Amino acid sequence: MNEQLSIKLKKIESQLIGMSDHLYEIPELGDQEFQSMKVLTDFLLNHDFKVDIGVVNRPTAFKAEYKSEKQGPTIAYLAEYDALPGVGHGCGHNLIGTISVGAGVALSKLVDEIGGSIIVLGTPAEETNGAKVPMSEQGIFDDIDVAMILHPSDQSYESGESLAMDALQFAFSGKSSHAAASPEKGINALDSVIQLFNGINALREHLPPDVRIHGIISEGGQAANVVPDYAVAQFYIRAKERSYLNQVVQKVKNIAEGASIMTGATLEISNYELSYDDMHTNQALSKAFNNNLEKSTNLPVLQAKQSYGSIDMGNVSHVVPAIHPYIGLNRPGLVAHTKEFADQTITADGHRTLITGALALACTGYDILTDLDLFKSIKDEFQSN
């Protein structure tokens, strides 16, 4: 473990803890994280980072950079800071944001000597409409060599996989009529939605177990004695690989078209949230990080959990070597997206997780900047996949 980085982090430890606790107290939903963004960017500005706010046309997204005059790799730490409705920071994004900022600032104190550049990316709305997607599409990562993010969990786990995901909305338009007096004059849009659900349920028998399809009826009529002339269903469709997900999505769209034909309703299909790609963990980078995390916590890093969720870090991993590991909050069995999880982030264990996580990320960045063989192995692995 790099003693210099440990000393640098010790100097800002109380400020990092204060920022994380403050984010806990002011939870903000995705794309509304104005106070949280200001807390993080003000700290980065105070440590000589150049900060651009509102990148990729997202008002709470930012790019902060500290560039050495010496050449070297560019390391990116990704910060999340959106909260969940009802439970606040039940996914620990108050920790994620400050861990990345802490790692970036600590490592920036050494790059003038060793070379390279440090970037902290503020990535809003991971829970809903993740900004990492347009960042991946619009070239934010073109000059970045490695991207890392560290997520709190009950225990520490290796970076693993996630499912690719499309969020599809199916809006059916029919014709209203009196449901008792003249039903023959109506076109029931809700029947279209029901047939869509029935068709998807029939499709499930012929899909592999990694596929997940789950949805709701968000609009289905106003009164029982009026034929619904408008009905909407929203679905998340997930699969292990983007290529297969595309095939499943087409089948679901075909079912929706069939439901439209059956009832006579017209159909409009749209994406109501951005699509997430499957996560490709860079194993060389992952091993380097795991080694540093075990040293910083003196606890084992467990094998990656089977994940059926989706993260916008998956999109990042398709354009640059990336990892998305987990660091333990010393509460085995703790469930994310709960108030209990949020409360754990402001305990002594949560504060310890913040500092040790930032140290592990900073040390991994230092290893990449100073170990040419490690850097080459990371890049070679990415290019071969």
User: CB within 8 A of 382, min separation 6: which ones?
Assistant: 282, 320, 321
**pLDDT at 1 > cutoff 90:** no
Residues 54, 57, 58, 63, CA torsion sign: negative
Q: What domains appear along the chain, each with residue ranges and CATH number?
A: 3-162+277-384 (3.40.630.10), 164-271 (3.30.70.360)
- pLDDT band of residue 385 (cuts 50, 70, 90) is confident
The percent of residues in the chain predicted with pLDDT above 90, rounded, is: 96
Contact 126, 311 (CB under 8 A): yes
**pLDDT at 33 > cutoff 80:** yes
Contact 239, 203 (CB under 8 A): no
Instruction: Read off the pLDDT of residues 15-30 as tens digits, 9 standing for 90 and up.
Output: 999 999 999 999 999 9
Distance CA 205, CA 154 (A): 34
Instruction: Read off the pLDDT of residues 317-374 as tens digits, 9 standing for 90 and up.
Output: 999 999 999 999 999 999 999 999 999 999 999 999 999 999 999 999 999 999 999 9
